[in-house]
């Protein structure tokens, strides 16, 4: 608990020392020391306090740069040609420039989450007061803010405490962003260290945002049995007025639900959402519905279902107002970060705003008051719905066929498509009345609309694709478990040991956006694979939605098949983007609750623990945004590897280990101080996989940790080998690097593996109590 | 036939690939090379060139030119299914990262490579990998064989139709001494 900006003024003070007049004492920050846990070495770390840790990580996982651009055009010296690692006019070389751009992305991401948290906390403090208590799980969650405790060294108890932490985060982002200015940082690894700082800051910002909203809005509090809610386009009732909410900041959507409740209109209007506002509104009310991930915006708007769009912040299409206009649906912008050129009507009477929207006098309005948004949205939707009668701009099939006949096969659409979809061929077939190729494209389309923006004939190609997939789209009706928030302490106690020893083969977190190479079903397939294998599978954000958008032969979606508890074989939806720290938090809590390590301001030790012991992997198969970049960076600093899909290569820098360099994989055995070979576990820290098959093999491999006991390593190896054999048709060629003792070998594969080990000249080696930190060695005298 | 980037926004920097229009260039490059490699992505199984799979052309080229193959992602399985055994397997990110390392011993222990062919990767992924190699791999020459112009390669087949690509490969295989 802290208090900031304590300002004490004393007009006159008489004491034994004498009389003091006009005494004024200002203190920036007061730390309440009622918390008995010893404070660690790095509370509120500056941008260099954890640099040594970063360099250890970056020595193991060296950056591999793939410049997206050979030039730098950030100052008026430029453009500078940096190709072949040349230096620009400012002296910066290509490597540093790439890291600099990564840092910019991470700062944008961290700023976005932190500003979201700031927005929420300020608004909630105004509504509930600074002393409003935080509660993310009652007595089930005593370590209520693992990331915050770890980074800042404080235990937030009230909304006011969050305000103090935000000050720190904002300062850090400011420093980090300033480092990207021309003539500041000049070394690529120092840029990378700052990327990791941005990621760490981002994790705290997200944790604050989710703590605030869970505490104040009554979201599920660490509840494994959070309700199952409707998911998919087909879940929306086309006979009802429909309000569509898009974005990440939930208060305006809550304003809508509250107004509906107050007026007894629940059930008469459908409220549905896309992206993280959708997650969070279903955490508030299970009556709300999730249409799908961010990429579904165009297809859903053009279908004509929404009678009004309410957009808040982040991941909203910049052309949402234009798209809404096309279907004659008004739009309300509700965030100061996304005003869309609309007039600010916050202070106008509701009747006037509704009248202007319903009559079409204005296409949209800006309203920066969530409660007012609620009333305006509901009343407008009810009046607009009968007028527009679900007016859509998806063409009829006969029109589509006629237009398709006129396609001149210029290939512009295909060359603009991020996934190189063969649209021209599909157009030829469509011209002949066969829509099956367009329908197939619907399944893999990421919904960007670039195909039609480049069409020289201005054909509405994306709408054609949606039309071809319309039947399937209307059948999309699934269930998703509402975001549960934190992981309970008791769950951590139950799984801590089997995770640390490897007997639960891994914690696999599917997170991030929907820029998939071949549709969202690949995410669902991967999740099914690892849930069946009894890994702990965690989801958040748009990936959590994609995870639910399949059904088995019994008509059940994965969230209906697998329990929501944090245990082997569980499928745990923590919630929206800002819920991601519950995943990192679970790893941190293993160190705290199971291993009894101090968290408080003790980042390096805990990251070392997590990196060497907790077999966790993040998969951001459709990672698209700068926020995804900063989220990943937060996991990297904890030593948790992240796999991205092929589009993730566009983040232009990987962090790759080299298993062929034995010297990179030595750790200290903390029992003896000996430096011992720990094996390439995990082999990479940031890695783009080409296909889902490659990703699945790599997930299993990256779950291995030096600390695995022999039973755990045998279990992990059996999954790795099994997946490798299935997808690659061969045994992996690196088994000898992961077998430390014969007892590590899965019993059913013993003969085959022993033969391989013999061929490789393998020798038994010790299983260390691993650490990268010399100070963690217990027998100092033996330390080399 | 065009030497503009296939994905139009993927414009190059100051250094652009030379268009590879004649199979003789491949022969000349191979002749000069002491240690070539053919990096093969998963799309070789998906792509059909007028009735013959890309993977089958790749096998014919590798055999005729005696070029070692490294198959990325899960594509190794398709080589083995075709009973083509002389293929290594490695994730493309690992291959690319190692190709920037002059100390790398190579997949065969014979040292680093001086010529790398690429085929069958997602266009944008290959674009980025070739960019990484262009900027950080020293003397490595790269050749893109996809038939979709890759500006970051040293040489790239321009944007050509699948029929033209088939003809290119057939001519190349013949010139390499294959059938």
Tokens 């229009």 -> residue: B21
Contact B98 A652 (CB under 8 A): no
Q: Looking at beta carbons, which residues of chain B come within 8 Å of A68?
A: 128, 131
Q: Is the dihedral of CA A436, A441, A447, A452 positive or negative?
A: negative
Q: How far apart (Å, rounded) are the C-alpha atoms in residues A481 and A471? A: 25
Considering the domain boundaries, does residue B110 fall inside one?
Answer: yes
Within 10 angstroms of residue B103's Cβ, the number of other Cβ atoms is 8
Chain B residue with CA closest to A63: the answer is: B97
Q: How far apart (Å, rounded) are the C-alpha atoms in residues A249 and A120? A: 8
Considering the domain boundaries, does residue B9 fall inside one?
Answer: no
- Those residues whose C-beta lies under 8 Å from the C-beta of residue B167, and which sit 6 or more positions away, are none
Q: Looking at beta carbons, which residues of chain B come within 8 Å of A729?
A: 76-77, 80-81
Q: Could you read off the pLDDT of B80-92 as tens digits, one per residue?
A: 999 999 999 999 9
Q: Could you read off the pLDDT of B22-33 as tens digits, one per residue?
A: 999 999 999 999
* Burial per residue of A10-25, b for 16 or more beta-carbon CB atoms within 10 angstroms, e otherwise: eeeeeeeeeeeeeeee
B131 touches chain A (CB under 8 A): yes
Out of A69, A81, A649, the one facing B125 most closely (by C-beta) is A649
Contact B91 A689 (CB under 8 A): yes
Out of B12, B41, B132, the one facing A690 most closely (by C-beta) is B41
Q: How far apart (Å, rounded) are the C-alpha atoms in residues A288 and A280? A: 10
Contact B97 A656 (CB under 8 A): yes
Q: How far apart (Å, rounded) are the C-alpha atoms in residues A215 and A287? A: 20
Contact B122 A690 (CB under 8 A): yes
How many Å separate Cα A276 from the centre of its chain? 10
Contact A688 B93 (CB under 8 A): yes
Contact A420 B121 (CB under 8 A): no
Residue A338 per-residue DSSP state: B
B73 touches chain A (CB under 8 A): yes
Considering the domain boundaries, does residue B111 fall inside one?
Answer: yes
Q: Looking at beta carbons, which residues of chain A come within 8 Å of B91?
A: 687, 689-690, 694, 698
- H helix runs in A454-580, sequence order: 461-468, 470-475, 489-500, 521-532, 541-548, 558-561
Considering the domain boundaries, does residue B1 fall inside one?
Answer: no
Interface residue of B124, B146, B148 to substitute, partner A, most A CBs within 10 Å: B124
Extents of the domains making up chain A = 1-31, 32-216, 233-388, 397-459, 478-775
Predicted local confidence at residue A310, as pLDDT: 98
Predicted local confidence at residue A784, as pLDDT: 44
Out of B125, B135, B136, the one facing A690 most closely (by C-beta) is B125
Name the residue among A724, A564, A637, A590 with its Cα closest to residue A224.
A564
| Tokens, residue A457 | 């004939």
B91 touches chain A (CB under 8 A): yes
* Contact (CB, 8 A) for A288 and A271: yes
In the predicted model, is pLDDT for residue B131 greater than 50? yes
Work out the widest C-alpha separation in chain B, in whole angstroms. Answer: 43
Considering the domain boundaries, does residue B13 fall inside one?
Answer: no
Shared fold status for A233-388 and A478-775:
yes
Contact A690 B100 (CB under 8 A): no
Based on the structure, what is the number of domains in chain B? 1
Q: What is the extent of the structural domain holding B43?
A: 18-175
Considering the domain boundaries, does residue B62 fall inside one?
Answer: yes
Predicted local confidence at residue A7, as pLDDT: 55
Contact A693 B73 (CB under 8 A): yes
CATH number at residue B77: 3.40.50.1220
Q: How far is A654 from chain B (nearest CA, A)?
A: 8
Contact A656 B94 (CB under 8 A): yes
* Contact (CB, 8 A) for B68 and B37: yes
Pairing of strands A62-65, A653-656: antiparallel
Considering the domain boundaries, does residue B11 fall inside one?
Answer: no
Out of B74, B98, B132, the one facing A65 most closely (by C-beta) is B132
Q: Which CATH number fits domain A478-775: 3.90.1530.10, 3.40.50.720, 3.40.50.2030, 3.40.50.300?
A: 3.40.50.2030
Q: How far apart (Å, rounded) are the C-alpha atoms in residues B130 and B146? A: 13
- Those residues whose C-beta lies under 8 Å from the C-beta of residue A404, and which sit 6 or more positions away, are A427, A428, A430, A431, A459, A464
Predicted local confidence at residue A14, as pLDDT: 72
Q: Looking at beta carbons, which residues of chain A come within 8 Å of B139?
A: none
Contact A83 B15 (CB under 8 A): yes
**Inter-axis angle of helices A159-178 and A94-128, to 10 degrees?**
160
Contact A84 B135 (CB under 8 A): yes
Predicted local confidence at residue A781, as pLDDT: 47
Predicted local confidence at residue A8, as pLDDT: 60
Q: Looking at beta carbons, which residues of chain B come within 8 Å of A684?
A: 93
Q: How far apart (Å, rounded) are the C-alpha atoms in residues A718 and A733? A: 14
Contact A67 B129 (CB under 8 A): no
Q: How far is B66 from chain A (nearest CA, A)?
A: 23
Q: Looking at beta carbons, which residues of chain B come within 8 Å of A696?
A: none
- Identify the helix (H) or strand (E) that includes residue A364: strand A364-366
DSSP characters for A713-748?
A: HHHHHHHHHHHHHHHHSS--TTHHHH--SGGGS-GG
Q: Looking at beta carbons, which residues of chain B come within 8 Å of A732?
A: none
Within 10 angstroms of residue A192's Cβ, the number of other Cβ atoms is 29
Three-state DSSP state, A98: helix
Q: Which CATH number fits domain A233-388: 4.10.910.10, 3.40.50.2030, 1.10.260.40, 3.30.450.20?
A: 3.40.50.2030
Predicted local confidence at residue A35, as pLDDT: 86
* Contact (CB, 8 A) for B125 and A688: yes
- Which stretches of A468-622 are assigned E, i.e. beta strand? 478-481, 507-510, 536-540, 571-575, 616-620
pLDDT along chain A (784 residues), means of 10: 56 70 58 81 98 98 96 95 95 97 98 98 97 96 96 97 97 98 97 98 98 98 98 96 97 98 95 96 97 91 97 96 98 97 98 98 98 98 97 96 96 97 98 97 95 96 97 95 98 95 95 94 97 98 96 96 98 98 97 95 98 98 97 98 98 98 97 97 98 98 97 97 98 98 96 97 97 89 46
B162 touches chain A (CB under 8 A): no
Architecture label for domain A32-216: Orthogonal Bundle (1.10)
Burial class (CB in 10 A: 0-12, 13-18, 19+), A34: exposed
**Inter-axis angle of helices A159-178 and A188-217, to 10 degrees?**
160
Considering the domain boundaries, does residue B159 fall inside one?
Answer: yes
Name the residue among A605, A367, A613 with its Cα closest to residue A507.
A613
Q: How far is B101 from chain A (nearest CA, A)?
A: 11
* Contact (CB, 8 A) for A668 and A675: yes
Out of A83, A727, A728, the one facing B135 most closely (by C-beta) is A83
Residue A4 or B118, more confident: B118
Predicted local confidence at residue A294, as pLDDT: 83
Q: Looking at beta carbons, which residues of chain A come within 8 Å of B124?
A: 418, 646-647, 649-650
């Amino acid at each position: 608990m802290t208090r900031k900006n304590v300002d004490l003024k004393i007009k006159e003070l008489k004491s034994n020392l004498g009389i003091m007049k006009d005494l004024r004492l200002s203190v920036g920050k007061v730390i309440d020391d009622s918390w008995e846990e010893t404070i660690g070495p790095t509370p509120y770390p500056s941008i260099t306090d954890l640099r040594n840790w970063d360099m250890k990580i970056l020595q193991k996982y060296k950056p591999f740069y793939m410049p997206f651009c050979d030039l730098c055009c950030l100052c008026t010296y430029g453009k500078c040609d940096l190709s072949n690692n040349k230096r620009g006019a400012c002296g910066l070389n290509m490597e540093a420039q790439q890291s600099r751009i990564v840092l910019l992305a991470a700062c944008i991401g961290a700023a976005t989450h932190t500003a979201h948290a700031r927005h929420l906390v300020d608004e909630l403090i105004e509504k509930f007061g600074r002393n409003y208590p935080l509660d993310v799980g009652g007595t089930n969650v005593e370590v209520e803010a693992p990331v915050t405790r770890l980074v800042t060294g404080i235990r937030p108890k009230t909304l006011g405490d969050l305000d103090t932490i935000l000050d720190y985060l904002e300062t850090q982002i400011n420093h980090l962003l300033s480092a990207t200015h021309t003539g500041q940082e000049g070394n690529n690894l120092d840029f990378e260290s700052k990327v990791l700082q941005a990621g760490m800051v981002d994790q705290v910002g997200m944790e604050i945002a989710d703590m605030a909203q869970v505490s104040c809005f009554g979201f599920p509090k660490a509840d494994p049995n959070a309700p199952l809610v409707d998911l998919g386009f087909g879940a929306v009732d086309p006979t009802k007025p429909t309000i569509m909410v898009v974005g990440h900041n939930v208060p305006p959507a809550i304003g809508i639900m509250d107004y509906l409740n107050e007026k007894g209109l629940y059930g008469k209007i459908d409220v549905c959402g896309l992206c993280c506002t959708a997650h969070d509104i279903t955490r508030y009310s299970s009556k709300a519905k999730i249409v799908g991930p961010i990429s579904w915006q165009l297809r859903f708007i053009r279908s004509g279902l929404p009678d009004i769009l309410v957009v808040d912040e982040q991941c909203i299409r910049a052309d949402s107002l234009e798209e809404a206009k096309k279907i004659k649906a008004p739009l309300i912008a509700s965030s100061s970060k996304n005003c869309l050129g609309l007039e600010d009507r916050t202070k106008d009477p509701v009747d006037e705003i509704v009248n202007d929207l319903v009559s079409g006098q204005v296409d949209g309005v800006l309203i920066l008051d969530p409660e007012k948004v609620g009333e305006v949205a509901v009343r407008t939707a009810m009046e607009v719905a009968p007028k527009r009668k679900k007016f859509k701009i998806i063409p009829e099939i006969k029109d589509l066929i006629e237009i398709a006949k006129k396609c001149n096969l210029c290939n512009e659409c295909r060359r603009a498509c991020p996934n190189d979809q063969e649209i021209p061929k599909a157009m030829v077939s469509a011209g002949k009345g066969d829509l099956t190729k367009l329908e197939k494209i619907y399944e893999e389309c990421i919904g960007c609309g670039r195909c039609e923006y480049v069409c020289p004939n201005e054909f509405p190609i994306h709408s054609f694709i949606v039309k071809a997939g319309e039947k399937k789209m209307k059948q999309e009706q699934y269930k998703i478990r509402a975001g549960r928030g934190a992981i309970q302490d008791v769950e951590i106690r139950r799984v801590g040991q089997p995770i640390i020893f490897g007997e639960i083969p891994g914690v696999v977190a599917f997170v991030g956006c929907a820029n998939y190479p071949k549709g969202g079903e690949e995410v669902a397939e991967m999740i099914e694979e690892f849930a069946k294998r009894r890994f702990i599978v965690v989801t958040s954000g748009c990936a959590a939605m994609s995870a639910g958008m399949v059904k088995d032969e019994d008509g059940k979606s994965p969230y209906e098949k697998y329990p929501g508890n944090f245990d082997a074989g569980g499928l745990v939806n923590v919630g929206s983007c800002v819920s991601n720290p519950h995943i990192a938090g679970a790893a941190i809590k293993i160190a705290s609750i199971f291993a009894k390590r101090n968290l408080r301001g003790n980042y390096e030790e805990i990251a070392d623990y997590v990196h060497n012991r907790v077999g966790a992997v993040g998969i951001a198969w459709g990672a698209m945004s700068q926020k995804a970049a900063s989220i990943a960076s937060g996991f990297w600093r904890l030593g948790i590897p992240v796999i991205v899909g092929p589009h993730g290569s566009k983040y232009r820098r990987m962090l790759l280990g080299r298993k062929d360099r034995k010297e990179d994989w030595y750790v200290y055995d903390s029992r003896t101080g000996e430096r011992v070979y720990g094996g390439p576990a995990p082999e990479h820290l940031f890695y783009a996989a080409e296909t889902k098959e490659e990703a699945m093999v790599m997930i299993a491999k990256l779950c291995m940790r030096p600390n695995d006991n022999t039973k755990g390593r045998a279990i992990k190896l059996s999954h790795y080998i099994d997946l490798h054999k299935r997808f690659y048709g061969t045994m992996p060629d690196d088994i000898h690097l992961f077998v430390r003792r014969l007892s590590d070998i899965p019993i059913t594969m013993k003969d085959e593996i022993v033969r391989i080990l013999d061929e490789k000249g393998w020798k038994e080696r010790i299983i260390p109590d691993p650490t990268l930190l010399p100070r963690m060695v217990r027998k100092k005298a033996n330390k080399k | 036939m065009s030497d503009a980037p296939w994905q139009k926004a993927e414009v190059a920097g100051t250094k652009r690939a030379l268009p590879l229009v004649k199979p003789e260039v491949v022969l000349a490059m191979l002749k000069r090379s002491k240690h070539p490699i053919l990096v093969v992505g998963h799309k070789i199984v998906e792509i059909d060139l007028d009735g013959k799979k890309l993977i089958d052309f790749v096998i014919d080229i590798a055999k005729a030119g005696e070029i070692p193959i490294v198959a990325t992602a899960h594509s190794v399985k398709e080589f083995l299914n075709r009973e083509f055994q002389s293929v290594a397997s490695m994730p493309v990110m690992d291959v690319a990262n190692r190709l920037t390392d002059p100390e790398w011993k190579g997949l065969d222990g014979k040292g680093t490579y001086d010529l790398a062919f690429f085929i069958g990767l997602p266009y944008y992924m290959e674009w980025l990998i070739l960019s990484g190699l262009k900027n950080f791999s020293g003397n490595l020459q790269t050749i893109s064989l996809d038939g979709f112009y890759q500006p970051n390669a040293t040489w790239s087949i321009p944007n050509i139709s699948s029929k033209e690509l088939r003809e290119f490969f057939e001519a190349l295989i013949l010139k390499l001494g294959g059938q």
